[in-house]
Homo-oligomer: A and B are copies of this chain.
Amino acid sequence: MDQTVFQNLRHQSVGDLRLVIREGSYTGHTAGLGAGMLQANLVILPQDYALDFMRFCQRNPKPCPLVGVSDTGDAMMRTLGRDIDIRTDVPAYNIYRDGKLSAETMDISDLWRDDLVSFALGCSFTFEHAAIAAGIQLWHIDNNTTVPMFRTNILTVPAGPFEGPLVVSMRAIPEDQVDLAVEISRKFPLAHGAPIHIGDPAEIGVADVTRPDWGDPAPVPEGSVPVFWACGVTPQVALEAAKAPLCITHKPGHMLVTDVPQDAENPVLRPST
């Protein structure tokens, strides 16, 4: 990915950005793009699994904040924006078969079926933007790495075949900014809301805070506190447990960029039919 192209994309409308992605001209991550608009994790499942997956999201709203659900077999995400074709408008997809990652692709048109249902789940980009705007420095962003993520000893509330541990992301926050970080993130329930734990990693089953299960390591400097938020990798682990014959997700970091303002009280736009 050419850095100049990325810089140009930053100044495009979300509609134009999605068109560039649809044409296959951009297949990179979406952090920093679509400024001010909600970005979302994507999960596509056969309808046989859809009701249980919606129950799983309802029962685990902090890791799985549901922001949109398609009609069965409809490739358009009609409540999240104008002309969002879920088969082409995400930069990169992961294909799971029987719970195992089997392929990565930039377009899922050839995999689309009449029984598929698409789910969009809120992601942490939203509160990170707000935190940075409030003067909180985030190490992984300043250093262009992926936020460290950890499997915890907290279990999700299961639904049908969907179950597993809560996964959290960790951001080291200066002691005197912890209250501010909590206050800001609490305002964004669709971006995982307030932290689920502040302080001693061992209390939530994290043995070594410098060795994440996913993402890149990040330091916890003297004077900073490790703060843990529910993470969108949680549903991915539950999807692996469910072993659906087919499941399609976005490739991590390569999100669906919507037309919904990230500070919207609710994420539903009236479809233009």
Which residues between 40 and 69 of chain A lie within 8 Å of chain B, taking CB atoms?
A: 47, 50-51, 54-55, 58-62, 66, 68-69
In the complex, what residue of chain B is closest to A61 when comparing beta carbons? B266
Decide if A79 touches B59 in the complex (CB within 8 Å): yes
User: Which of B79, B159, B265 is within 8 Å of A71, CB to CB?
Assistant: B159
A78 to chain B, nearest CB (A): 8
CA distance A62 to B268 in the complex (A): 10
Contacts of A91 in B (CB 8 A): none
Question: Is A157 an interface residue when CB atoms closer than 8 A count as contact?
Answer: yes
Question: Is A271 an interface residue when CB atoms closer than 8 A count as contact?
Answer: yes
User: Which of B61, B69, B72, B266 is within 8 Å of A268, CB to CB?
Assistant: B61
Decide if B193 touches A265 in the complex (CB within 8 Å): yes
- Given A66-B58, A186-B265, the answer on whether A271 and B71 have CB atoms closer than 8 Å is no
CA distance A160 to B72 in the complex (A): 10
Question: Is A106 an interface residue when CB atoms closer than 8 A count as contact?
Answer: no
Question: Is A123 an interface residue when CB atoms closer than 8 A count as contact?
Answer: no
Count A interface residues, CB 8 Å.
Answer: 29
In the complex, what residue of chain B is closest to A155 when comparing beta carbons? B270
CA distance A159 to B72 in the complex (A): 10
A115 to chain B, nearest CB (A): 12
In the complex, what residue of chain B is closest to A55 when comparing beta carbons? B69
Contacts of A50 in B (CB 8 A): 51
Contacts of A54 in B (CB 8 A): 51, 54, 58, 69
CA distance A227 to B85 in the complex (A): 38
Contacts of A186 in B (CB 8 A): 265
CA distance A41 to B207 in the complex (A): 43
Question: Is A194 an interface residue when CB atoms closer than 8 A count as contact?
Answer: yes
Question: Is A189 an interface residue when CB atoms closer than 8 A count as contact?
Answer: yes
Decide if B265 touches A194 in the complex (CB within 8 Å): yes
In the complex, what residue of chain B is closest to A65 when comparing beta carbons? B266
- Given A71-B159, A189-B189, the answer on whether A268 and B60 have CB atoms closer than 8 Å is yes
Decide if B55 touches A268 in the complex (CB within 8 Å): no
A62 to chain B, nearest CB (A): 6
In the complex, what residue of chain B is closest to A186 when comparing beta carbons? B265
- Given A193-B265, A268-B157, A271-B157, the answer on whether A68 and B79 have CB atoms closer than 8 Å is no
Task: Please report A residues at the B interface, Cβ cutoff 8 Å.
Answer: 47, 50-51, 54-55, 58-62, 66, 68-69, 71-72, 79, 117, 157, 159-160, 186, 189, 193-194, 265-266, 268, 270-271
Would you mind naming 9 contact pairs between A and B with Cβ atoms under 8 Å apart?
Answer: A47-B51, A51-B54, A51-B72, A54-B58, A54-B69, A58-B68, A58-B268, A60-B268, A189-B189
